[in-house]
Structure formats: C-alpha cells, structure tokens
Structure 1
C-alpha cells in the first residue's frame, strides 16, 4: 500500500464529519444532483455507497494515475469523488435495469478526456462487479487498403477520421453480438502507428461476457443537420469548396444512424469553447517533441484541426446537442484548463 493511499484510509476523510460535508456539497450543486439522482431523501445512502466504493477502487485508481497518467493520485481525487464515482454508479444502475448488456456512448472532441474517463469507469465498474469493454470509433476504421481506394474516389478525404472512413457494418455486427450476449466476441482494434501514421487494422481482441460497452469517439451519436445551415457556416468553412465538403460529410452521417440507434444513452464531453481543442493539441504535440518523439508543427496542427472543423464543425453539430435531451442523456462541461465544469442532464 503506497503512502498516499495509506494516509487517505487512515485519516478521518471518510469519517462522519467529512461525510456530513459531502452530503451538503452533493445537494448544493442542484444540476449535478439532478443528473445523478441525488435527493434529500437518499443523500445519506448515496454518500455512504460512494464512500465504500472509493475505498475499494483507490488501490487500482492510484496505480492508474501513477503509471498511465503519470500524476499524483491526490490531484485527481476530487474528480474521482465528484464525477467518476457517481457516474460509474449511474451506469451500473442502468445496466441493472436492462436484461442485456448496456451500450454507453461517449461523445467528445480531441483532448476532452474520453479515453481517460473510459479507463477510470472500467476500474470503477469492475469493483461493482461489471465487465466492461472500451470500444473507440477509431477501432472501426476501414482498412488501409480500403481507405486508399476511398481517397482515390474522393481526394478530399486526406485524413482518416471523418464520416465515410469507418466500417459501419463492422460496428453494427460487434454491437449486435454483444447486445445478444454472445460470447466470445472478436472486437476490432486499430493501430495508428502503421504505414507512417496512416494506420491499419491489427489483431482483433477476443472478449467474453461483456456487461457494459463504453463506445467513445469524436462524433459518436452526432446526427445530420439541415444542409441550408452551411450557407452561413462559421470559419474555417469559408469557400464554396468548403461548403460543398461540409454538405457531403453531413450527408455521410446518415450511414451512421443505425450505429447510434444501438446506444442506450449518450454522454457529451462538452468544451465550453470548442477552439480549446486546438490549444490542447498543440500542448500534446509539444510534449511529445520535448520527450524526443516526432510531432507536428503549430502550422501543421492548425491545418489538421481545421480539416476536422470543416468536416463537422462543433458549433453546428455539437453545440445544438447540449440542449437536445432526446439525444444526449448527460452533459459534462470541460473548461479551458481541462478541468470539469457543470454536469447536467437538463438545465431547465
């Protein structure tokens, strides 16, 4: 047991005084309380259950922070308590109510923390007795050879990522097998490092007895919009060619609707300013370069990010979903410093 974990369990952090403060805090944030089903009538039970779960998940969480995130676990303790633990409990409750595996969608752009959240939720759900599968939209990319053909057909698809570069039928097959509780299931995986970064399919992963699928991606659950909107679209959609590209990509989203229909619910990781993703990407590339790895220059990053904004602009496709409770079940706001802001299911 590491020193930090020992200090947490040895102090009064989970004692009665601390739990009373936790009860008050849990009810004070009314939007978050509503999102996680916390009421004055059940808050004692909620805090007790969360406290016990915190104790059981701390060893694995501490190791994850140190080895994967390479940060001190106590830096993430508040996020674990306020967000990830209640979210894990919420997903476990949803799974309990189903008679089949739960398919949870996670929508978030680059740098919003989809992968980290999925890994932490897997740790939590494992403690609650549920076997999870993390599946990325990236895992459904068409093969390298198929994407070469696609680029020949449409030279505008210079990078993998936008609608049209995925094998939707493959995704439907995998999710349907899991939904029907088939076991084992061969889950596709994608290696981004092959072909000088172009990437290709790698050896599938065989999984058994999946209870909950965490299906994440930068446009998971995104629906097509009215094509007339592109007549007055924001930058970088500025030329006739840009608008034609945006309309074509928007049309390709129709092919993904059957995949979104498999989702039981959808979580949106929502940056309060979508332009933050550009700065986050630059920070990530600078860190890689500082570590001696190859990375893109700032101008290359801007070209890359603008390409994705031209294909599915966050202001047009993501922002409207914040208030669309028929599509999105939970919104988690991301501040410019990548901290978590408000959490809500309905701001009304």
Structure 2
C-alpha cells in the first residue's frame, strides 16, 4: 500500500458543521477534535460518497479496530457527514449488536467450552441475523429492525428498543474489532499465548472452535462489504491501556454498566489478545485503508492505494 497524506481543503457546509459540533458535545470531545473531522473523516466520507454514487446501490462499509481505537466514533462522525453534507441515508451498526443472547451463549458454554459464555470472539455472534439484516437494508422495506445489544445486562435488548429504518439505505456501516479478519493457520493455535489460554483452554478446544467459526461462517458476512477501513493500534499493550482507561472512566462516572476491577479486566482482555494481535499483523495487507494510531489514540498516518487524499 502507498502512504498518503490526509490534506484536503475543508468544504463542510454550515449545516454539517453545526451537526458535527453537536456530535462533539455529545461525545464530550475537545474543540480541537474538529481538526480530526476536517483532516480525516471529511476526505474519507467524500470519497466513499463518490464510490457509492458509482455503485448506485447500497454501499457497505466495514470498520475494523481494536478496543478503544475509536471505531464507533469514526462511524458516528462519518454518518453525520453522510447525512448532513451529502443528504444520504445511513444505517450505523456494530457487530456487538449481533451478539448471541445470554441463553444461547450459556448453551455454547455448557456443550462446547465454558469460555464461550463471554461475548466477543467469533462464534458468539448471530451471523445469519447479521446477514439477513444487511440484505434487508439494500431492499425496499418500510421498517427494517436493527437489533441492539444491552451490555449493562449482557443480553440482547428487547425488540421494542431496537431501532427501525426505512430501506433501501444509501450506506451501511458495520464496525467491529474482528471485521474482515481471516482465520489463523491451525498450526498457530497449538501454543497458548497468555494465562487464560494456558489455564482455561489447555487443550485448545476453545481457540480451535473460534478459529473454525471465523473460517467457516464469518466470510459470508465480511464478503458483503465494498470497503474495509482498519484503525491500527501500535500494539496490544496499548489496547489494554485504552480498555483500562475506558473502564476507569465508567467507574469514575458511577456508570450503571457492569464494570471490572483490574484482575477482571486483565482476564477479560485476554479473550481478545490472540485475534487482536493476528489482526495487527495480517489485516493491513488487504484492508482498503489503514489508519495508524499513536499511543494517544491519535491518527498519524494513512495507507491505502484506493484512496487519494491529495
């Protein structure tokens, strides 16, 4: 991939700038964040809009990023620009919305491996539901239900709380930490990479199941997308620090969402370590756009032959 510089004259309309400002306040972002919007999100949104116009039909955009990388923030601001600058309809989803219910994960934990009770890894998502939803979003439907997951209760939200959109929509955004990821070589699964795998998956059954799900079922979802953007963290150590900062913020705010102490967080993040490190190593080779982050979660460099930010 070629390295590109994101420098392009800002031409956001007054209406769009107002919407962006309101969104920054909602996300409690500093005023300096407008530079990120102008220098990064705006050029991306502009080019995707052009690609959508060329395609004619619903355009599917996937965003990959580790925990704390800012993928949901990117999705929100891209949606804002699409809607208020280009008058496009957008369905903004997270792969987290498609987690299996707690009851379904309990079944997996009892019949396959106890670690599958914890949501997150491939095999804990309802892929058929995700595919069905994304297909409906490109067809003529008055109301397409967008499933939502309630992390406070670790279960799927009740249906009356799901969002509804009129379809077809112009752009579908789906963000998630494992979006676009390919399965590992089976030989790479043999050696545990952390204490969780060593102590709770000594025979490798859990990681082999996860890898098989990623190989057999997730490509049907990933192949629906026209474009994949990756937000690339410097290392897994940074991912842990970012996730801990998120947890500390929730605790300080006395959030109603379930929070974890350091020992609980350390165990939880180990569920994601193997595939996060695999993504950092392998995904840049075939993502359409890779945006590299520094340790402060700031965008520093973009790589992507399909993009022209000059």
Q: TM-score range by the shorter chain?
A: 0.7 to 0.9
Distance in 1 (CA, whole Å) between partners of 2:300 and 2:158 is 37
Aligned residue runs from structure 1 range 35-184, under 5 A: 47=9, 51-53=10-12, 55-66=14-25, 68-73=26-31, 75-126=32-83, 127-154=85-112, 155-184=114-143
Q: What is the aligned partner in structure 2 of residue 290 from structure 1?
A: 252
- Structure 1: runs of 5+ lacking an equivalent: 1-29, 39-45
Which one of the candidate residues 186, 200, 220 is aligned to 2:156? 200
Shift of 1:77: 1.8
Which one of the candidate residues 268, 272, 296 is aligned to 1:337? 296
Shift of 1:238: 4.7
Distance in 2 (CA, whole Å) between partners of 1:193 and 1:117 is 23
Q: What is the aligned partner in structure 2 of residue 3 from structure 1?
A: none
Q: What is the aligned partner in structure 1 of residue 281 from structure 2?
A: 319
**Kept after mapping to 2: 8 A contact 1:101/1:181:** no
**Kept after mapping to 2: 8 A contact 1:222/1:318:** no
Distance in 1 (CA, whole Å) between partners of 2:245 and 2:203 is 27
Cα pair distance change 1:238/1:341, threshold 3 Å:
farther
- What RMSD, in angstroms, separates the aligned Cα atoms of the two structures? 2.2
Q: What is the aligned partner in structure 2 of residue 308 from structure 1?
A: 272
Question: What is the SS of the residue equivalent to 1:156?
Answer: helix
Distance in 1 (CA, whole Å) between partners of 2:253 and 2:151 is 19
Which one of the candidate residues 186, 210, 222 is aligned to 1:249? 210
Structure-2-length-normalised TM-score: 0.88
**Kept after mapping to 2: 8 A contact 1:136/1:216:** yes
Shift of 1:265: 0.9
Paired residues, number: 295
Q: By percentage of residues, which structure has more helix? A: 1
Q: Higher relative contact order by CA 8 Å / sep ≥ 6: 1 or 2?
A: 2
Shift of 1:333: 1.1
Cα pair distance change 1:232/1:346, threshold 3 Å:
farther
Distance in 2 (CA, whole Å) between partners of 1:227 and 1:201 is 35
